[in-house]
């Protein structure tokens, strides 16, 4: 894996290359237009042929430079692009002395390319803006002295100092102090978030007013910011299905047009006894109007615009393909903990068994959960700290995904988890503990966890996660956006899950699931109702995320496994972003199809007209290239789309 600075240098070079290009190309377009103007003027005043030819050649060079460059690049890879058709048509026009028409063709064609590049640049910009967020140096606290260090040298476990107004250099948790954090650059959410001890802060966010000590949890190249930038850079390689189809189509179609036009030029004069020169002119019109420029340019322009729009709203699509997939989704399955509920549950009861003190129970649980990244573990550690319990590191730790944890010290193992953790390990619950478990479940005390150390049952701890206050409303928005079925998948117990499901108006609730059950149910939902999306945040969700036709990772603070598996990452921890993403993907799909149908119809009409009543070259050029520009502009609308 490349380091953060590598990623950054690469992105910077890619970006600065684009930058110098990005003003040269529009300049050439303007020069082409200028050439056309001067040309028309020269005709008016009856300038010499030599002068006119000079202007013609100049106009052709500036108008065709970028097209020829990309033709050569494409031919090196043994592919043909529409640019070739355009340049051939312009050369043909020059041959029949229709220089101006040829120049207009080159002008409009390069103009539509510039517009498409604009969309691409906006996408890059949205991403490279993220790169500038992280400071290069940090102030670390070492042995009570403050040292200034390059970000790259800071390892997890180090303590860094944040002053008011500092950007957070690395992901970490707050050790001391509190403050308001502006996370808008990462999440698009403009309201600052109040954060205090024990809470996670992300690299790239802005500390508005706190003086804090932060314990670094991830090195520079593993920070959420760095990983997301890496993922999105890769994303551009993943093309939408429509787009890869169009890329192949472009090849054959372009070749077909060249062959057809060549045949047309060669065969028609002898067969129908028309003059070669007249027919050649028609051949050039045909070459122009039959080119699929609009078709091949419009789709990437629309997809890139949509991806840039999404990035601004804190939703990262890892490629155009995922817009297309999300637009087809009919069913969305949600994980419960951390997705429908806040990722910060709270401890509600600590119930030691006779002969065990509450402090002893809590210390054992906290120590066992120390290395778990499950929200339950965080709840327990926060609670333990409030109670003044300072857990020590366990000697051995294992997370049993979807069941609980096992950790040991001095050869004695402590188990914390759901009843199935114990049955999984061949242990049977004492009857009274089982009765207590059922009672707490019935009372809706939240997730009930059993604790056992060595051969001794220590007691029960319950943890309650609160649903997001706006969850029901956001799910309703999803239905308005066209989602037909909403499903909950959870590893938690059925009572908690069903109560929540009823409150939120969820269609189907599946509880007590292991990660592989989630995976299986995603498959079943897909077979039953059609394309299914999965929304999750945990390691336990990763298999289901991978199996879903569209997968969404919740919040930039989700687990690495979820962030990496998902097609779409929500940077803001907000269910509303899902309805936005669904709406955007459908809108994009509509625009893509509008463009495809419109460009094909224009080609069809112009080709038929050329072959029947005949079309003059200027008309052909304007009709064809005009439609190209229209579809590109239609795609760019997605860039400015709101909400």
Report which of 316, 244, 254 is spatially closest to residue 70, judged by C-alpha positions: 254
Helix (H) or strand (E) holding 553: strand 550-553
Binding of residue 376 to ligand ADP (CB under 6 A): yes
Binding of residue 377 to ligand ADP (CB under 6 A): yes
- Sheet arrangement for strand 447-453: 346-352, 456-464, 447-453, 412-417, 404-409, 396-400
**Binds ligand ADP (CB under 6 A): choice among 332, 449, 533, 562:** 449
Residue closer to Mg ion by CB (options 561, 596) is 561
Binding of residue 414 to ligand ADP (CB under 6 A): no
Residue closer to ligand ADP by CB (options 311, 486) is 486
- The partner in contact with residue 374, picked from Mg ion, ligand ADP, none with C-beta cut-offs of 5 to 8 angstroms by kind, is ligand ADP
The least CB distance from residue 521 to ligand ADP, in Å, is: 12
Binding of residue 526 to ligand ADP (CB under 6 A): no
Residues 6+ apart with CB under 8 A from 329: 483, 531, 532, 533, 549, 550, 582
Binding of residue 492 to Mg ion (CB under 5 A): no
Binding of residue 166 to Mg ion (CB under 5 A): no
Tokens of 251: 């090849």
Residue closer to ligand ADP by CB (options 101, 335) is 335
First to last CA, the chain: 35
Q: In three state form, how does the secondary structure of 472-503 look?
A: HHHHHHHHHCCCCEEEEECCCCHHHHHHHHHH
- Residue 338 DSSP SS3: helix
Residues 6+ apart with CB under 8 A from 255: 80
**Catalytic pick from 39, 166, 171, 335?**
335
Binding of residue 337 to Mg ion (CB under 5 A): yes
**Binds Mg ion (CB under 5 A): choice among 92, 338, 419, 623:** 338
**Binds ligand ADP (CB under 6 A): choice among 130, 257, 326, 418:** 418
Catalytic-residue membership of 560: no
**Binds ligand ADP (CB under 6 A): choice among 123, 205, 337, 559:** 337
Binding of residue 447 to ligand ADP (CB under 6 A): yes
Binding of residue 183 to ligand ADP (CB under 6 A): no
- The partner in contact with residue 292, picked from ligand ADP, Mg ion, none with C-beta cut-offs of 5 to 8 angstroms by kind, is none
Q: Residue with the closest Cβ to Mg ion?
A: 538
- Residue 329 DSSP SS3: coil
Per-residue binder mask for Mg ion (CB under 5 A), 536-555, x = binder: -xx-----------------
Query: What is the distance between the alpha carbons of residues 344 and 338, in angstroms, rounded to a whole number?
Result: 7
The least CB distance from residue 382 to Mg ion, in Å, is: 17
Strand partners, 167: 206
Check residue 188 and give left, alpha or beta (phi > 0: left; psi -120 to 50: alpha): left
- Window of 61-69, 217-225, 410-418, 602-610 that interacts with ligand ADP by CB under 6 A: 410-418
Binding residues with ligand ADP: total (CB under 6 A): 22
**Binds ligand ADP (CB under 6 A): choice among 63, 230, 320, 417:** 417
Tokens of 534: 């999965």
Q: Residue with the closest Cβ to ligand ADP?
A: 491
**Binds ligand ADP (CB under 6 A): choice among 403, 478, 534, 602:** 403
Binding of residue 369 to ligand ADP (CB under 6 A): yes
Report which of 69, 59, 40 is spatially closest to residue 102, judged by C-alpha positions: 59
Binding of residue 29 to ligand ADP (CB under 6 A): no
CA 3 vs CA 70, 131, 221, 229: distances in Å: 32, 13, 5, 11
The least CB distance from residue 222 to ligand ADP, in Å, is: 22
Residue with tokens 């380091």: 3
**Binds ligand ADP (CB under 6 A): choice among 122, 239, 336, 378:** 336
Binding of residue 402 to ligand ADP (CB under 6 A): yes
DSSP 132-187: TTS-SEEEEEETTEEEEEEGGG--TT-EEEE-TTPBP-S-EEEEE--EEEE-HHHH
The least CB distance from residue 331 to ligand ADP, in Å, is: 18
Query: What is the distance between the alpha carbons of residues 150 and 574, in angstroms, rounded to a whole number?
Result: 33
Burial of 170 (0-12, 13-18, 19+ CB in 10 A): buried
Interacting residues with ligand ADP (CB under 6 A): 335-337, 369, 372, 374, 376-377, 402-405, 416-418, 447, 449, 490-492, 538, 540
Interacting residues with Mg ion (CB under 5 A): 335, 337-338, 537-538
Supply the residues annotated as catalytic.
Answer: 335
């Amino acid at each position: 894996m490349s380091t953060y600075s590598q990623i950054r240098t690469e992105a910077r070079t890619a970006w600065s290359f684009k930058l110098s290009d990005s003003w040269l190309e529009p300049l050439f377009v303007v020069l082409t237009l200028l050439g056309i103007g001067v040309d028309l003027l020269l005709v008016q005043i009856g300038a010499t042929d030599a002068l006119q030819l000079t202007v013609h050649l100049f106009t052709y060079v500036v108008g065709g430079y970028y097209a020829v460059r990309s033709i050569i690049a494409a031919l090196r890879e043994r592919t043909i692009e529409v640019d070739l058709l355009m340049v051939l048509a312009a050369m043909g026009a020059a041959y029949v002395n229709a220089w101006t028409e040829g120049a207009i063709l080159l002008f409009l064609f390069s103009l539509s390319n510039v517009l498409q590049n604009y969309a691409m640049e906006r996408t890059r910009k949205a991403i490279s803006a993220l790169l500038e967020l992280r400071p290069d140096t940090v102030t670390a606290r070492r042995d009570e002295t403050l040292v200034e260090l390059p970000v790259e040298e800071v390892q997890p476990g180090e303590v860094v100092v944040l002053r008011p107004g500092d950007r957070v250099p690395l992901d970490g948790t707050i050790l001391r102090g509190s403050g308001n954090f502006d996370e808008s650059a990462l999440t698009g959410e403009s309201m600052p978030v109040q954060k205090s001890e024990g809470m996670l802060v992300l690299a790239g966010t802005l500390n508005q007013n706190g003086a804090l000590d932060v314990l670094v949890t991830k090195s520079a190249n593993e920070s959420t910011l760095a990983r997301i930038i890496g993922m999105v850079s890769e994303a551009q390689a993943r093309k939408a299905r429509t787009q890869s189809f169009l890329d192949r189509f472009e090849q054959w179609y372009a070749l077909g047009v060249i062959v057809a036009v060549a045949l047309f030029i060669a065969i028609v004069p002898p067969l129908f006894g028309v003059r070669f020169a007249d027919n050649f002119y028609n051949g050039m019109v045909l070459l122009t109007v039959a080119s699929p420029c609009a078709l091949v340019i419009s789709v990437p322009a629309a997809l890139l615009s949509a991806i840039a729009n999404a990035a601004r709203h804190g939703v990262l699509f890892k490629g155009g393909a995922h817009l297309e997939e999300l637009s087809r989704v009919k069913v969305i399955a949600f994980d419960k903990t951390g997705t429908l509920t806040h990722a910060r549950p709270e401890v509600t009861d600590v119930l030691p068994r006779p002969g065990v003190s509450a402090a002893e129970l809590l210390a054992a649980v906290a120590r066992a959960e120390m290395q778990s990244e499950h929200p339950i573990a965080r709840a327990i550690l926060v609670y333990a700290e409030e109670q003044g319990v300072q857990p020590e590191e366990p000697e051995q730790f294992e997370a049993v995904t979807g069941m609980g944890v096992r950790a040991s010290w001095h050869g004695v193992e402590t188990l914390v988890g759901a009843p199935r953790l114990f049955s999984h390990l061949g242990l049977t619950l004492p009857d009274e503990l089982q009765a207590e478990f059922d009672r707490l479940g019935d009372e809706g005390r939240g997730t009930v966890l059993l604790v056992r150390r060595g051969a001794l049952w220590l007691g029960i701890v319950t943890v309650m996660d609160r649903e997001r206050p706006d969850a029901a409303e956001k799910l309703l928005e999803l239905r308005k956006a066209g989602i037909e079925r909403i499903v909950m998948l959870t590893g938690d117990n059925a009572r908690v899950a069903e109560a929540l499901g009823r409150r939120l108006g969820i269609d189907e609730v599946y509880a007590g699931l292991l990660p592989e059950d989630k995976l299986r149910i995603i498959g079943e939902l897909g077979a039953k109702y059609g394309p299914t999306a999965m929304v999750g945040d945990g390691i336990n969700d990763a298999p289901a995320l991978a199996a879903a036709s569209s997968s969404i990772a919740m919040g930039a603070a989700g687990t690495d496994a979820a962030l990496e598996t998902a097609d779409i990452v929500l940077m803001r921890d907000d269910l509303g972003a899902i309805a936005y993403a669904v709406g955007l993907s459908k809108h994009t799909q509509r625009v893509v199809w509008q463009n495809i149908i419109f460009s094909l119809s224009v080609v069809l009409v112009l080709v038929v007209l050329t072959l029947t009543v005949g079309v003059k070259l200027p008309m052909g050029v304007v009709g064809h290239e005009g439609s190209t520009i229209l579809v590109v502009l239609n795609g760019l609308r997605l860039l400015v789309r709101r909400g």
